[in-house]
Copies of this chain bind each other. A is one copy, B any other.
Amino acid sequence: MRATVIHAPHDIRVEEVPDPAIRLPTDAVVRVLKACICGSDLWAYRGESARQPGQRIGHEFLGVVEETGAGVDGFTVGDLVVAPFVWSDGTCAYCADGLTTSCPEGGFWGSVGSDGGQGEAVRVPHADGTLVKLPAAAASDDRLLTALLALSDVLGTGHHAALGAGVTEGSTVAVVGDGAVGLCGVLAAKRLGAERVIALGRHTARTDIARRFGATDVVAERGEAALAAVRELTRGEGAHSVIEAVGTEQSMRTALDIVRDGGAIGYVGVPHGSASGVDLGVMFDRNIALRGGVAPVRTYIPELLPDVLDGTIDPSPVFDLSIGLDEVPAGYRAMDGRTALKVLITP
């Protein structure tokens, strides 16, 4: 089959790789209908996250079950399924708690020896624990299929951030980061009942989506001016809940600047760089909570799926460029250059 391979920073190729096959009875093979490029893939692309030459890449996909191991009970050939961005066994103590990302049997698509999502097919370990079935009818609805793809990462990650930030009915939320995760954070905050959602961002194409997703205010300023603008909108106090969806030192500092005393930062931006932006002394004095991390999206899919199916929420606008598999290298360039927000791949 053909799949995306990363050979070195900025060297992404689509090439012929071995077809996936059942290795363990708990495996399934899924033929990919839709996949996409994640902002976090760019860290590997830019060389900021180490990869071995020849690793696969891509961790978001949905598709059709093509083959199942003898031990797979929950799926049959032909099922339409979505995969969360990590696999997990569904049976351990962590999975029982909903923390599927800490499953000792779990792993990431594209890690050494595993398939990535940006290819024609994927061997799925622990298929029963990992995959979630979608209604067959969705396969013929391209818009819906695109929306459902967001369940594999960005929608659940935005939801995780909103939970971490303590978003509740009537709360005020600020969102740092205008990427797909930040925008899904807006959507998730609104879904959880936030009354006021302040999106920080300077790109009108993105902040327009934020407004469509429920943002009540947009702050285009940066640094001190952004802080002043958020204060102005929040009686001088800051937002109870802040979603940090970038992962840089600067974004964490901004989150800390604009959160209200006693509030919480829900952070889902993958931390990178040597400094964290976390100032424990400031957090201590102001009783700021920090909650979040790698989102256990497998746990959230059953809760979010009905709302996507019935159109209550529609994350599909985060995909603003649609390409075929051969165009994936161009897709990375587009996201790296910020000419695309999130790239949809139809293999």
Contact = CB atoms under 8 A, between A and B. Distances in A.
Interface of A: 93-94, 97, 99, 101-102, 164, 235, 237, 252, 261-262, 264, 267, 270-271, 276, 278, 280-281, 283-294, 296
Contacts of A292: 284, 287, 289
Given A99-B261, A261-B99, A284 B293 contact: yes
A280 B289 CA distance: 13
Please give me the 9 A-B residue pairs with the lowest Cβ-Cβ distance, nearest first. Answer: A287-B293, A102-B261, A276-B280, A289-B291, A99-B262, A284-B293, A271-B280, A290-B290, A271-B281
B289 A285 contact: no
28 contacts: A93-B235, A93-B237, A94-B261, A94-B262, A99-B262, A99-B287, A101-B287, A102-B262, A102-B286, A252-B280, A264-B291, A267-B284, A270-B284, A271-B280, A271-B284, A276-B280, A276-B281, A278-B280, A283-B290, A284-B293, A285-B293, A287-B293, A287-B296, A288-B293, A289-B289, A289-B290, A289-B292, A290-B290
Given A164-B289, A276-B281, A287-B292, 16 more contacts: A93-B237, A94-B262, A99-B287, A102-B262, A102-B286, A270-B284, A276-B278, A283-B290, A284-B292, A285-B293, A285-B294, A286-B293, A289-B289, A289-B290, A289-B291, A290-B291
Copies of this chain, whole number: 2
